[in-house]
Amino acid sequence: MMEIVDPMNTIAQSSRVRLARNYADVPFPTRMSRQDSEKIIERTANALEKERYTLKRMADLGKNARGVLVEEHLISPELAAKDGAAVLLNEEKTVSIMVGEEDHLRVQAMLPGLQLGGAMELADRADRQIERAERFAFDPDWGYLTACPTNTGTGMRASVMLHLAGLAMLSQTGQVIHAVSQLGLTVRGLYGEGSEASGNLYQLSNQITLGRTEEEILRLLSDTAQQVIGRERAAREMLLQQGRAQLEDKLMRSFGVFTHARLMTTKEFMTRLSHARLAADLGFVKLSPQQLSQLMVKVQPATLERDAGRPLSQMERDELRAGIIRKTLA
């Protein structure tokens, strides 16, 4: 697949490829027993024993530790809610294999920027490693069989996380969402299906997994992502042409609150972070994309409590979050 590899793209925040797989000789998750679940965990770990993966069982993790994994996009909220589930993580945390979610396995790979091809290579390598030792449920006509019919076929869901602040300011995100839906793609929120868009971050992903090859899906998604990125850049240019001083004033006022507030809720943080990202992209402030991405994870509720080493009240979290922002962006 040909694509623009742009890990420093400030509009495309990250790329993810997820493969849904089920073992051929084990009942699907809706019908399997706790013993079946444990068997799948052990067999998957054994298949990857030559690779450097760390096994984390949800039963061994508290609510906070599970929440941190969700905030880092290493597991889904659905997996975090299941005591019999587990996740296998590689050293770089670029690959996470969720065991016992909707399907037996969800092999997920994630890279920064627009790197769908690279993410696919990572996911495919882990998938092949497991398939050397195990047999997946597969039909010559239908492809990989999954718990939900919408995943049958390639079993692949690929997505690009996009920061669409300019389109949001011009109230054009609805037009973009409608346009991409005509192509068999969909737009979701920060944590995937069922979640809301936060901080003007949107996940552009494929809806169709049957009747198209992995390469065709990735090419369509990559081409569409580049088109949306082009529209976002055009929106930013329009905002500058309409009134550079007004735009800079709005963003820098927000940035002033961002870097001096003593209390900051999660919701306000995501709004201010979006403004800070846009201000940095337009050259109004000097901040690196990595710095802002790391900050986003560092101040999420579960991560704050983990680093504090104790449960925190909402007021304590809001105060601690504001302090970390001031220290990081001083």
**5: Cβ–Cβ under 8 A, 6 or more apart, which residues?**
113, 114, 115, 117, 118
Q: Tell me the C-alpha distance between 319 and 304, whole Å.
A: 11
Pair 273, 259: CB distance under 8 Å: no
Q: So what's the pLDDT on residue 190?
A: 62
Residue 205 amino acid letter: S
Q: Tell me the C-alpha distance between 301 and 316, whole Å.
A: 10
Q: So what's the pLDDT on residue 6?
A: 44
121 lies in some domain:
no
Residue 51 amino acid letter: E
Pair 162, 202: CB distance under 8 Å: yes
Q: So what's the pLDDT on residue 274?
A: 97
Per-residue pLDDT of the chain (330 residues; tens, 9 = 90+): 434 444 446 899 999 999 999 999 999 988 888 899 999 999 999 999 888 899 999 999 999 999 999 999 999 999 999 999 999 999 999 999 999 999 999 999 999 999 999 999 999 999 999 999 999 999 999 999 999 888 899 999 999 999 999 999 999 999 999 999 998 899 987 655 544 668 999 999 998 877 888 999 999 999 999 999 999 999 999 999 999 999 999 999 999 999 999 999 999 999 999 999 999 999 999 999 889 999 999 999 999 999 999 999 999 999 999 999 999 997
281 lies in some domain:
yes
* Residue 296, both tokens: 């986003």
194 lies in some domain:
no
93 lies in some domain:
no
Q: Tell me the C-alpha distance between 222 and 233, whole Å.
A: 16
Q: So what's the pLDDT on residue 229?
A: 96
Buried b / exposed e along 282-292 (16+ C-beta atoms within 10 A):
bebbebebeeb
Burial status of residue 253 (CB atoms within 10 A of its CB: 0-12, 13-18, 19 or more):
exposed
Q: So what's the pLDDT on residue 209?
A: 79
**317: Cβ–Cβ under 8 A, 6 or more apart, which residues?**
266, 301, 304, 305
Model confidence pLDDT, tens digit, residues 257-277: 999 999 999 999 999 999 999
Domain count, the chain: 1
Q: Tell me the C-alpha distance between 315 and 264, whole Å.
A: 9
Q: So what's the pLDDT on residue 317?
A: 98
291 lies in some domain:
yes
Q: How many Cβ atoms are within 10 Å of 50's Cβ, its own excluded?
A: 8
Mapping DSSP to helix (H, G, I), strand (E, B) and coil, where does residue 157 land? strand
Q: So what's the pLDDT on residue 149?
A: 87
96 lies in some domain:
no
Q: So what's the pLDDT on residue 192?
A: 53
Q: What distance separates the 2 farthest-apart alpha carbons in the chain?
A: 64
Model confidence pLDDT, tens digit, residues 44-101: 999 998 888 999 999 999 999 999 999 999 999 999 999 999 999 999 999 999 999 9
Q: Tell me the C-alpha distance between 155 and 212, whole Å.
A: 11
Q: What is the pTM of this model?
A: 0.90
153 lies in some domain:
no
* Residue 197, both tokens: 């868009």
When the pLDDT of each residue in the chain is averaged and rounded to a whole number, the result is 92
**281: Cβ–Cβ under 8 A, 6 or more apart, which residues?**
10, 11, 236
221 lies in some domain:
no
DSSP state of 160: E
DSSP state of 15: E
Domain that holds residue 256: 243-329
